[in-house]
Amino acid sequence: MSCYFRQNSDTDIAIPKYVESSGVTYYTIKVRVAQVEWLVERRYKDFDELNEKLVEEIAISKKLLPPKKIVGNKNPTFLEERRQKLEKYLRELMVFFRIQLPRVLAEFLEFNKYDIIYLLQDLAKLFIESGEALLSNRKQFHFSALQVYAISERLNLPCPPENIEHRGRFDFSHVLDFCTQLEILKVTPVKDNDSFASDYNAVDVPIGSSNIIPKKLKFNLNAFRNIHTLKFYALPPENILDIGLLKPSLQKICVHNTITTSINQVLLCDNVHKENVTINSPTKADIALQGPIASSSGSCTNWPKINELNFSGNLLTQIDESVRLVPQLRTLVLEQNRLKTIRNLADLPHLQTLTLSVNLISDCINWHLELGNLVTLNLAQNKLKSVKGLRKLLSLVNLDLSCNLIEDVEEVDNIACLPLLETLRLTGNPLASIVDYRSRVLARFHDRASEIVLDSEKGTHKELDTALVLSALHVSFLRKKSQQ
């Protein structure tokens, strides 16, 4: 991202070409500030309006701009001559304003889209004019990666000259004041473009007409020290260089649609040696007092108030030991990843809701050893044929097994024995296509059949009557079998 305030001596303006579209001539302006470049297209009319404003506001010479021409203004020779003169005009302006750009010129050259100072001026203006309305509902705001990067970098800059900030509606203090009042922060590669929701490569696409790549923008979140929810879309968690000030208060983290393969990339995002960190299991005192959990480095790395993690739509292949850093976790959403099994969840005694839908899980052997206190489990759209490993999840109330590979109705016996189970989803399994499927399943719950919500519906009177008969037959069959 550019910073004209610091890099004005390494700035260049050129108009390499002009293009015609629908009978209108546009001049392509190439702006370069150090290593950052972007393109802007303007008509001569735009140049004329810019010049009028500069003459009025700053009293530059009106003769700097090449004059209008009514007749013959489409002639290639004339257009090439005008291109050269307009380029000279812009370069003279940049020399004249070599320390700071007036807002009208910054907007004309789109510095307010790609430069730290001028982009933040736009944010300051927005927050002083609409900040109260934006915060009146949920105290939530959606920032682009470029905006968060600009805030992070601006904190490291000395104060710009006074008339850049204007000590009024463009003052950076308005941005900081707004950020410190936020409770929910959402960060995406860009705004007004939802391609990041379905395309992992969105972070590799340059922003607008610039050469700025979202994936390469690394920042800290220290300006947002009061947020309790962080939502991160498509951006690598490692882009966060410092999140230390948020750890004591953050309650929920959402990371979606990234190429993240391991949970430690999120929970240890600002630790450059995350692969070498050994995390000790939390003691009962750690969990009860929400105290710090020690790591092999001896530093405090845990998140004492995190109660929900949502990592849906990533490329996770395992649940690594870094989950021990969130001992108060109650909800864990790992939907749409590449998990084949679960591990390291035994150290989360408060975990009540686990979503593992749309993964690659084909067995669930002895899951009660990992999920002793679980209330809600979602295993939809996996590859399960047997659910024998769930039969000891005695606290389970809600279970979703839809769209798996369960064929045999006898598999239901493994979950019908769960004393607190109330809702069950089996639709989308081969089992669901058999005759009297609902009655056959409900029959396995015997006296509790009327209490079970199967595939979002309780049994009808007819289904329950049939289930009662099937249950009696099944009990009789089991009794005879045991006597043989």
With beta carbons less than 8 A apart as the criterion, state whether 351 and 373 touch: yes
Lowest mean pLDDT among 52-61, 75-84, 181-190, 195-204: 195-204
Q: Which residue has the higher pLDDT, 279 or 115?
A: 115
Report the range of poorest mean pLDDT among 51-60, 113-122, 171-180. 51-60
- CA 67, CA 80: separation in Å to the nearest integer? 14
The least confident of 68-77, 374-383, 451-460 is 68-77
- Look at 461 and 191; give whichever has higher pLDDT: 461
**pTM for this prediction:** 0.86
pLDDT digits (tens, 9 = 90+) for 380-411: 999 999 999 999 999 999 999 999 999 999 99
pLDDT greater than 80 at residue 291: no
Instruction: Identify the residue with better confidence: 368 or 474.
Output: 368
Domain 4-110 -> CATH class: alpha beta
What average pLDDT is seen over the chain? 87
pLDDT at 432: 94
Question: Is the model's pLDDT at 299 over the cut of 70?
Answer: no
Strand-pairing partners, residue 104, are none
pLDDT number for residue 297: 43
53 φ/ψ sector (left φ>0, alpha ψ -120 to 50, else beta): alpha
pLDDT digits over 24-34, tens only? 899 999 999 99
Residue 304 — very low, low, confident or very high, per pLDDT cuts 50/70/90?
Answer: very high
CA distance 412 to 377: 16
Take residue 394 and report the two structure tokens written for it: 């005695």
Q: Long-range contacts for 24-29 (Cβ within 8 Å, ≥24 apart)?
A: 25/74, 25/79, 27/83, 27/86, 29/90, 29/109
**148-164 pLDDT tens trace:** 999 999 998 877 655 55
Superfamily of domain 361-483: Ribonuclease Inhibitor (3.80.10.10)
Q: Which long-range contacts (CB under 8 A, 24 or more apart) does 453-458 make?
A: 453/422, 453/423, 453/424, 454/424, 454/425, 454/426, 455/402, 455/424, 455/425, 455/426, 455/427, 456/423, 456/425
Domains 4-110 and 361-483 share a fold: no
- Please determine, for residue 72, whether its predicted confidence score (pLDDT) is greater than 80: no
**Residue scoring higher pLDDT (170 or 252):** 252
φ, ψ of residue 322 to 5 degrees: the values are -65, -15
Please indicate whether residue 177 or residue 270 has the higher confidence score (pLDDT). Answer: 177
**Whose CA is closest to 220, among 203, 204, 238?**
238
Domain ranges of the chain: 4-110, 115-250, 361-483
| Virtual torsion, Cα 449, 453, 459, 460, nearest 10 deg | 140
